[in-house]
Amino acid sequence: MAPLLDVEGLVVDIAVHSGALHAVRDVSFQVDRGETLCLVGESGCGKTMTALALMGLLPSAARRRVRRLAFQGESLATAAADRMASLRGHRMVMVFQEPMTALNPAYTIGNQLAEGHRRHLGSSRLVARERAVELLEKLGVNAASERLRQYPHQLSGGLRQRVMIAMALMCAPSLLIADEPTTALDVTVQAQILRLLIELQRDFGIGILLITHDLGVVARVAHRVAVMYAGEIVESGTTAAVFAAPRHPYTRGLMTSIPVPGQTPPGGRLGAIPGIVPSLIGEMRGCAFRDRCAHALTICTAPVAWRAEENHGWRCVLSPSPAHAEVA
Amino acid sequence: MTPLIEARDVSHSFIIGRGPFARKRLLHAVVGVNLTVRKGEVLGLVGESGSGKTTLGRMLLGLIAPSSGRIRVGDMDLADINRKALARRIQPVFQDPYSSLNPRKRVVSIVALPLAVLGIGTVNERRAKAIAMLERVGLLPRYADVYPSELSGGQRQRVAIARALVIEPDIVLLDEPTSALDVSVQAQILNLLTDIKRDLGLTYIFISHNLAVIEHVATQVAVMYLGRIVETADRETIFRGPRHPYTKALLASVLTPEPGLGVPDIGLGLAFPNPLDPPTGCPFHPRCTESGPRCRVEVPRVVRDERGLVACHLHDGGVRMVS
Amino acid sequence: MSDLVAVPLIDAPGTLPRTLLRRRVLAHKGLLIGVGLLTLATFIALLAPLIAPHDPYAQDLAHRLIPPIWQEKGAWAHVLGTDNLGRDYLSRVLYGARISLLIGLAVMVISGLIGTILGLTAGYFGGRIDMAITFITTVRLAMPVILVALAVVATIGSSLLVVILVLGLLRWDRFAIVIRAATQQVRALDYVTAAQATGASTLRIIFGECFPNILPQLVVIATVEAANAILLEAALSFLGLGIQPPLPSWGLMIAEAKQYMFFSFWLIAIPGTALALLVFAINMVGDGIRDVTAPAGRM
């Protein structure tokens, strides 16, 4: 069966003063129904640009090229603007990081919830309202019908994020793209929201593309993970496989950078990755991580091929070694 | 040994109200806080939004005067505050690397400012000290004359740390110093903070909502909820044997990078607290899985024992009504 | 400590903010045009005594209302013609530039000083001080400048100095409002808190930390207010409440030319055009500075 979302060879270039910024460089992945794929990376790695490119929401200075972009079997690579507009908010939805800036402060919650439903499905105000209340209650929002009359600023961060998720689900989408949906929330609220997403996926078979920088979220929520660095996917596979044996030095570096309660010796040094992300402007050849990699070789200056094992692939010339890498 | 910092029953309330004619309401940001910090410790101050940890931090810096209670830093009572003397004892590092450095000043001038304010040394001596401190935190001297806009988030935090350390304080108050940084940069900065603490014999107050980071750096931990400290203990005790239900919920919410464990149900319910209208009795009771009738009416008192400090009826006679 | 060594500057081709600024300035056509015109006006104002062909006050009743050079009765002796008292128009226009620029500058400085101090104080301290200053500003906003000028002139007569003082002491409200908002924004930033934590004095924080960061907004509002001051003076002089004859204020020249409007149109058109160009130039400069110093966003 065709995957829900099939992306191959996605490239996004942004015109800047000093040349072209290669925000996304040849990214390929798939998301299936009822499955969660996490795009993991730090700031500047291109994960948000990837999501915007899929939704057709790139800034005007950005150019997108893609070999294949198919949603539910339909090719979207050259889709017209109104085709994208009819899919967006209906079949493909996106949830953002900052619910306060994503919700319009001038309109009530009820108004914003009903808007998409009425536009895409032509429903009446009453029907849309009922659906909104139904969803809000399912998402654990108490006093849902009264809340419809409230404005975003009257709600806490956790509530607002639930409203955002409800907005996304109004038209029963097939694909949910969530860009750091819980980063701005308190830790206890984050756990609740993530549980909700998992439940909804189980109940409705939604495919989720979850973008995050938090490896803890990835481990607990994702079926599969793709690690991005400097616009490329450097490692991907099932969560179990990647976490059990990370192959790419960047992935390893990320994992040793995070203190894990009960495992990392307190008060000791963390395995930090030295240096900073390279510039994405201008020509880029070979492995983008080589300047920060303790194991870099001269052949790393040439383009690096993708290597694949079962359920696990990575872009590095090093042979997998049983020892973990101390990158310091 | 006398503690370096002692806070006794410290409270602070903000007056909220719009305009000269609006009804004034009180926001109890910090309520009845008791805290001690000893030399060489790293006190981890943990809490979520609305817990009051940032306000408490500002009070310890002497920037906000408590509405009630006393704070002593070193041998200074903050009530008769000598701002400059206090500055020599305790300095801050803030969360947002983009707003903590003056964008119109060069890095060396930012780092030398505390020296200039306190009148230490000549202009050249201050510059030399600033550059030396920049090197200490890992920035080569050629960064001295750049503007903050040319630096990355991690580099800016290093500048902020250099600024805090240049007058050689005893205590550094770090308010979410790595929360706005990428994970790999966070590790660099945490390593730096560990090294500097050891080299300069510092004491840290480390405010964070990230329990994994707290577990890594702190020696003592204090957990705050709605302005109160609900539990204090050393790191081992808090993380291995938490007593307060909120502490347990917080720890349960930490998502460690271990696949296959799923997301736990911490059962906190939906009753989000409104700081302007806090619950009666124990502030946590509406969300507590272990609460009882007593929790609704009686504010728990603080119980001190050899394990630390906890404010919960469960550890003070139970949650049934006491007649 | 290997992670400390490899910490390169983030933008490899090291673009300093100064270089970026210069580039943006040079690319901004409006700003360049505005600056060009202003520089021209300044030169004219400074060198008027040297470049004016005649004495702007010299009357010559035998040669009244001579049209400018491009009309049929025009003569090279008076390139822009003469007015109803035979005074050379070109010279009067050139000298008029002095008055306009002087008014613009003086009022900008006086009202700028008052408004900035009030704005900084209100923005930094907040609370009751802010309420008081806002109240004063609101009261001031309720006063129409023209009526106050009328009252003042009726009481003590009018002159260049009176115009400058009336405008300077009344037109500070925009400064106060903008500077107050800008100060409030800066006040909330962490680097101000960090300065407070070092024990810095309030004055040092306001002028050392806050002020440099509100400077761009101050410059923009200053140019706008200078333009406004020039227009207001022209209006006051037109109404007879400002500069008194025989001074060659452009507004006064327009007033004096009112009655000859249909036959000697140039008498109004020329000072009117000069006024419009000057105000245009100042606004271009203000807009340009605002565009060019707009924050580029974080990295």
Nearest to B184 by CA among A1, A40, A107: A40
Q: Is B6 helix (H, G, I), strand (E, B) or coil?
A: strand
Q: Do A194 and B213 touch (CB under 8 A)?
A: no
> Which one has a higher pLDDT value, B128 or B17?
B128
Whether residue A35 contacts residue A208, with contact meaning beta carbons closer than 8 Å, is answered with yes
Q: Is B9 helix (H, G, I), strand (E, B) or coil?
A: strand
For residues A132 and A276, membership in a common domain is answered with no
> Which one has a higher pLDDT value, A282 or A132?
A132
Tokens describing residue C38: 């202003």
The CATH number given to whatever domain includes residue B110 is 3.40.50.300
Quick check: is A327 in a domain? no
The residue in chain C having the minimum alpha-carbon distance to the alpha carbon of residue A294 is: C2
Tokens describing residue B110: 């930012």
Per-residue pLDDT at A279 exceeds 80: yes
DSSP assignment of A81-113 equals HHHHHHHBTTTEEEE-S-HHHHS-TTS-HHHHH
Distance CA A240, CA A223 (A): 8
The CATH number given to whatever domain includes residue A265 is 3.40.50.300
Per-residue pLDDT at A327 exceeds 80: no
| pLDDT tier, B205 (very low <50, low <70, confident <90, very high otherwise) | very high
C229 residue type, one letter = A
> Which one has a higher pLDDT value, C74 or B212?
B212
Measured between beta carbons, which residues in chain B are less than 8 angstroms from residue C4? 138, 192
Shortest CA gap A156–chain C (Å): 22
H-state helical runs in C188-265: 190-197, 202-204, 211-238, 250-257
Lowest mean pLDDT among A2-6, A153-157, A225-229: A153-157
pLDDT, tens only, B211-253: 999 999 999 999 999 999 999 999 999 999 999 999 999 999 9
**What is the reported pLDDT for C216?**
86
CA torsion, ordered A240, A244, A248, A253, to nearest 10 deg: 110
Placement of tokens 């909502």 in the chain: B209
The residue in chain B having the minimum alpha-carbon distance to the alpha carbon of residue A271 is: B187
The residue in chain B having the minimum alpha-carbon distance to the alpha carbon of residue C12 is: B150
CA torsion, ordered C80, C83, C86, C91, to nearest 10 deg: -50
The residue of A14, A16, A17 whose CB has the most chain C CBs within 10 angstroms, and thus the best one to mutate to test that interface, is A17
Q: Do A276 and C3 touch (CB under 8 A)?
A: no
Among residues A145, A170, A195, the one where a domain terminates is: A170
- The domain ranges of chain C are 19-53+78-292
Distance CA A286, CA A25 (A): 12
Q: Which of residues 15-74 of B touch A (CB under 8 A)?
A: 48-49
Q: Is C1 on the interface with A (CB under 8 A)?
A: no
Whether residue A11 contacts residue A24, with contact meaning beta carbons closer than 8 Å, is answered with yes
Quick check: is A205 in a domain? yes
Q: Is B194 on the interface with A (CB under 8 A)?
A: yes
Which residues make Cβ contacts (< 8 Å) with residue B313, sequence separation at least 6?
B282, B292, B294, B295, B298, B300, B319
Q: Is B138 on the interface with A (CB under 8 A)?
A: no
Q: Is C201 helix (H, G, I), strand (E, B) or coil?
A: coil
Q: Do C193 and B138 touch (CB under 8 A)?
A: no
Quick check: is A323 in a domain? no
pLDDT, tens only, A70-93: 999 888 888 888 888 888 888 999
Lowest mean pLDDT among A155-164, C99-108, C131-140, C203-212: A155-164
Shortest CA gap B262–chain A (Å): 5
The residue in chain C having the minimum alpha-carbon distance to the alpha carbon of residue A271 is: C3
For residues A187 and A266, membership in a common domain is answered with yes
Which residues make Cβ contacts (< 8 Å) with residue B228, sequence separation at least 6?
B31, B32, B33, B52, B283, B311
State which residues form the domain around A148: 97-170
Q: Do A18 and C8 touch (CB under 8 A)?
A: no
| β-bridge pairing A224-229 and A36-40 | parallel
Which strands, in side-by-side order, build the sheet including B25-37?
Answer: B25-37, B5-16, B68-73, B76-77
Measured between beta carbons, which residues in chain A are less than 8 angstroms from residue C19? none
Distance CA C233, CA C230 (A): 5
Per-residue pLDDT at C93 exceeds 80: yes
Shortest CA gap C184–chain A (Å): 21
The mean per-residue pLDDT over the stretch B10-14 comes to 92
| pLDDT tier, C299 (very low <50, low <70, confident <90, very high otherwise) | very low
State which residues form the domain around B228: 5-234
Tokens describing residue A38: 């996490």
**What is the reported pLDDT for A261?**
86
Q: Is C209 on the interface with B (CB under 8 A)?
A: yes
Of C2, C6, C13, the CB nearest to A18: C13
The residue in chain C having the minimum alpha-carbon distance to the alpha carbon of residue B195 is: C1
pLDDT, tens only, C27-68: 788 888 999 999 999 999 998 888 888 888 888 888 888 888
Q: How many domains does chain A have?
A: 2
**What is the reported pLDDT for C12?**
33
Provide the mean pLDDT of chain B: 90
Among residues A170, A185, A214, the one where a domain terminates is: A170
pLDDT, tens only, C199-248: 999 999 999 999 999 998 898 899 999 999 999 888 888 888 888 888 88
Q: Which chains touch A (3 or more CB pairs under 8 A)?
A: B, C
The structure's pTM equals 0.87
The residue of B183, B216, B239, B248 whose CB has the most chain A CBs within 10 angstroms, and thus the best one to mutate to test that interface, is B183
Q: Is B234 on the interface with A (CB under 8 A)?
A: no
The residue of C15, C134, C191 whose CB has the most chain B CBs within 10 angstroms, and thus the best one to mutate to test that interface, is C191
The residue in chain A having the minimum alpha-carbon distance to the alpha carbon of residue C4 is: A274
The residue in chain C having the minimum alpha-carbon distance to the alpha carbon of residue A277 is: C10
Per-residue pLDDT at A53 exceeds 70: yes
For residues A17 and A60, membership in a common domain is answered with yes
The mean per-residue pLDDT over the stretch B181-203 comes to 93
**What is the reported pLDDT for A326?**
38
Q: Is C203 on the interface with B (CB under 8 A)?
A: no
Of C4, C197, C215, the CB nearest to B63: C197
The residue in chain B having the minimum alpha-carbon distance to the alpha carbon of residue A191 is: B253
Distance CA A83, CA A74 (A): 11
pLDDT, tens only, A13-52: 998 878 889 999 999 999 999 999 999 998 889 999 999 9
Q: Is A8 helix (H, G, I), strand (E, B) or coil?
A: strand
Quick check: is A322 in a domain? no
Provide the mean pLDDT of chain A: 88
H-state helical runs in chain B: 53-60, 83-89, 107-117, 123-136, 153-165, 183-200, 211-217, 235-240, 245-253, 293-297
Quick check: is B157 in a domain? yes
The mean per-residue pLDDT over the stretch B77-88 comes to 88
Nearest to A36 by CA among A215, A242, A198: A198
| CATH number at C19-53+78-292 | 1.10.3720.10
In b/e form, how buried is each residue of A41-75, taking b as 16+ CB within 10 angstroms?
Answer: bbbbbbbbbbbbbbbbebeeebebebeebbbbeee
Q: Do C6 and A274 touch (CB under 8 A)?
A: yes
For residues A201 and A302, membership in a common domain is answered with yes
**What is the reported pLDDT for A64?**
92
For residues A265 and A130, membership in a common domain is answered with no
The mean per-residue pLDDT over the stretch A262-268 comes to 83
For residues A159 and A192, membership in a common domain is answered with no
Placement of tokens 């006063």 in the chain: C143
Among residues A144, A170, A196, the one where a domain terminates is: A170
Q: Do B94 and C298 touch (CB under 8 A)?
A: no
Measured between beta carbons, which residues in chain A are less than 8 angstroms from residue B49? 157, 186
Per-residue pLDDT at C15 exceeds 70: no
| C131 backbone dihedrals φ, ψ, rounded to 5° | -60, -45
The mean per-residue pLDDT over the stretch C132-145 comes to 93
**Exposed, middle or buried: residue C258 (CB in 10 Å: 0-12, 13-18, 19+)?**
exposed
| β-bridge pairing A224-229 and A232-238 | antiparallel
Q: Do A274 and C5 touch (CB under 8 A)?
A: yes
Quick check: is B155 in a domain? yes
Strands (E), chain C: none
Shortest CA gap C292–chain A (Å): 15
Quick check: is B270 in a domain? no
Shortest CA gap A38–chain C (Å): 25
For residues A175 and A295, membership in a common domain is answered with yes
Q: Do A274 and C13 touch (CB under 8 A)?
A: no
Distances (CA, A) of B303 to B72, B116, B222, B226, B317: 22, 45, 14, 18, 11
CB atoms inside a 10 Å sphere around CB B27: 18
Sign of CA dihedral B239, B243, B244, B249: positive
| pLDDT tier, B270 (very low <50, low <70, confident <90, very high otherwise) | low
Q: Do B49 and A157 touch (CB under 8 A)?
A: yes
Measured between beta carbons, which residues in chain B are less than 8 angstroms from residue A137? none
Q: How many domains does chain B have?
A: 1
Distance CA C247, CA C98 (A): 11
For residues A197 and A282, membership in a common domain is answered with yes
Of C3, C197, C209, the CB nearest to B61: C197
**What is the reported pLDDT for B323?**
59
Per-residue pLDDT at B17 exceeds 80: no
For residues A140 and A259, membership in a common domain is answered with no
For residues A30 and A146, membership in a common domain is answered with no
Of C4, C199, C215, the CB nearest to B87: C199
First to last CA, chain B: 42
Nearest to B242 by CA among B300, B308, B318, B303: B308
The mean per-residue pLDDT over the stretch B34-47 comes to 94
| pLDDT tier, B322 (very low <50, low <70, confident <90, very high otherwise) | low
Quick check: is A186 in a domain? yes
Q: Is B25 helix (H, G, I), strand (E, B) or coil?
A: strand
For residues A9 and A154, membership in a common domain is answered with no
Distance CA C206, CA C173 (A): 20
Shortest CA gap A278–chain C (Å): 8
The residue of B84, B86, B93, B99 whose CB has the most chain C CBs within 10 angstroms, and thus the best one to mutate to test that interface, is B99
Of B62, B83, B98, the CB nearest to C298: B98
For residues A78 and A180, membership in a common domain is answered with yes
Nearest to A165 by CA among A130, A195, A139: A139
Distance CA B61, CA A48 (A): 38
Q: Is B322 helix (H, G, I), strand (E, B) or coil?
A: coil
**What is the reported pLDDT for C9?**
33
Q: Is C297 on the interface with A (CB under 8 A)?
A: no
